[in-house]
Structure 1
Amino acid sequence: MKTKDKHRISNHCKQLRLSAIADQVEQLADTASAEGISYLEFASRLLETEITRRNLNEMARKEKAARLPAMHELRAYDCTQTEGMPPAKLQQLKELTWLEQNFNLVIMGPNGVGKSFLAAGLCHYALQSGYRAYFRTMEQIMTTLKTRDISRQAMADYKKLSKAHLIVIDDIMMIAIARQEANAFFHFVNALHEKTSFIITTNKSPKEWAETIGDEVITTALLDRLLYRCEIIKLSGESYRMKNRKTIFGKTA
């Protein structure tokens, strides 16, 4: 293929917003010429290049909207460091059958045992499988609920969450919340619990939630929604962060 033909095709692709083909058409054409492939095979490779780029861009957009924490690759999850998550159980969770069946997960355990890491990793798997999934802390959820009527950004986030297949709520009941806020949170969960799965991470048992909310009636109603179709996962072990604590000083004699 002549250079002027490559440039012409590249310009056409830019006008059609086929950016991946525009960027790689010369390389693909040279490879096709060297291999002596058919025109149909060449056309197929061009389209596959564009589709791959678009899929990667779409996944990046979904991950940004999900607000996944930096640590979310379950390939790095070490089952030997935590009690309560054997490899077979982790594999079963990664298959997402529980999400297809609209089950919730409550991941309990002390600080540092990998609750958030596990929840974020499962959220990432859901995104890769085509589900609408989001990762939010309890504080972020409450901010969205409190400000959605006065903030365009909060309302946009609320609408996204309302259409989710999966919502991770990290560190639920970490801090006390006012009764009015607890009521708003209950209505949020109540509106979604039959069509959305939740992953809850917490270092408090459900029985302790009433102390944080300060209202036993709301707590009971909230637990009724979350625990009806739910798997409770209890993790234990030494804090990963404390076991791998960093220091600015080297080893001393």
Structure 2
Amino acid sequence: MSMSVPELEKALRSLRLSGMVATLQARALQVASHEMSFIEALSALVQDELDRRRSRLLDRRFATSGLPQKATLQMLDWSFNPRLPKRDILELGALKFIDSREDVLLLGQPGTGKSHVAKSLALLAVDRGYKVMYREAHVLLEEIHEARQLGHLARYRAQIAGASLLIIDDLFLRRLPSGSADELADVLMSRYERASTIITSNRPIDDWAELLGDAVIVTPLLDRLMHHGHLLRFEGKSWRLKEASERAARSTAGAG
């Protein structure tokens, strides 16, 4: 006995085939109008289901990564700031550094695209199936402190160590609490030659010892970062200033 379309949809839902439910009627019309054979329509329905599942999986991976938004390398206006290390950035976009367990240090002036590039690489890694963890530096340190206070430090450290790619964004953008040097060293030592870490900062390396308050720790920390690492320097014009100027211009034009 054949099923009606509503009955088929109900059966597909019970089998958790929501991707097929979404396109069932459209595929049926394609068969009825002889645009597709039965086998072609069935193949398309299976592909619809696979696409839906992949989309949901990527959404879950993105949500658990901690990324605040979906930034991409295609969004960068390379012509606006030709001093960017474009070749090196695009090479990192191949994500070979993750498989090689190499680290990346992005240094430079505020607004020149360091965080955007880090988030773009993280999004590429999410799409490629890597486990990604993104945190602003002060948030990471706050979460470590909270985990210690609640007795969950081992679990949180395991979460950090288990990420194929960890992004520590905007290091030194805010004043770090005492003990941050030890915490940061613990994170990086636990991942050394085991997984990849990207760090962005607008402060030159020469300032790190003073900012962390522990010159003894900074030297081996940087040594491990750079042993199998990539150092990219960001210079030139600020995108944030450009966007602020454009917003001001639009506001002035609107007021007129």
TM over 0.5: yes
- Equivalent residue for 1:93? 92
Deviation at 1:152, TM superposition (A): 8.9
> SS where residue 174 of structure 1 aligns?
coil
Residues 1-253 of structure 1: matches in 2 within 5 Å?
A: 4-35=3-34, 37-70=36-69, 72-151=71-150, 158-245=157-244, 246-247=247-248, 249-250=251-252
Q: How many residue pairs align between the two structures?
A: 251
The amino acid of 1:190's aligned partner reads: M
Secondary structure of the equivalent of 2:135?
A: strand
Q: Larger deviation: 7-16 or 35-44? A: 35-44
| CA pair 16-71 structure 1, distance change in 2 beyond 3 A | closer
- TM-score of the pair, normalised by structure 2: 0.88
SS of match in other structure, 1:130: coil
- 1:173-194 deviation digits (Å, cap 9, x = unpaired): 2334344232122112111122
Cα distance in structure 1, aligned partners of 2:61 and 2:173: 27
Assess if the C-alpha contact under 8 Å between 1:84 and 1:233 holds in 2. no
Q: Deviations over 1:183-234 (max 9, x none)?
A: 1221121111221111111111222111111011111222122111111101
Whole-angstrom CA distance in 1 between matches of 2:106 and 2:27: 48
Structure 1: any 5+ residue segments left out of the alignment? none
Q: 1:24: Cα distance to partner?
A: 2.1
Write out per-residue CA displacement over residues 95-123 of structure 1, whole angstroms, 9 at most, x where no aligned residue.
11222222111111111111101111111
Quick one: distance in 1 between partners of 2:12 and 2:30?
Answer: 19
1: CA distance, partners of 2:203 / 2:13: 54
In structure 2, distance between residues paired with 1:49 and 1:156: 38
Question: Could you say if the C-alpha distance between residues 236 and 131 of structure 1 is closer, same or farther in structure 2, counting changes exceeding 3 Å?
Answer: same
Structure 1 residue 90: deviation in Å? 3.1
In structure 1, C-alpha distance between the alignment counterparts of 2:173 and 2:43, rounded to whole Å = 53
Separation in 1, partners of 2:132, 2:10: 37
> Residue 146 of structure 1 contacts residue 181 of structure 1 at CA under 8 Å; is this kept in 2?
no
Q: Secondary structure at the match of 1:177?
A: coil
Higher mean C-alpha deviation, range 73-82 or range 201-210: 73-82
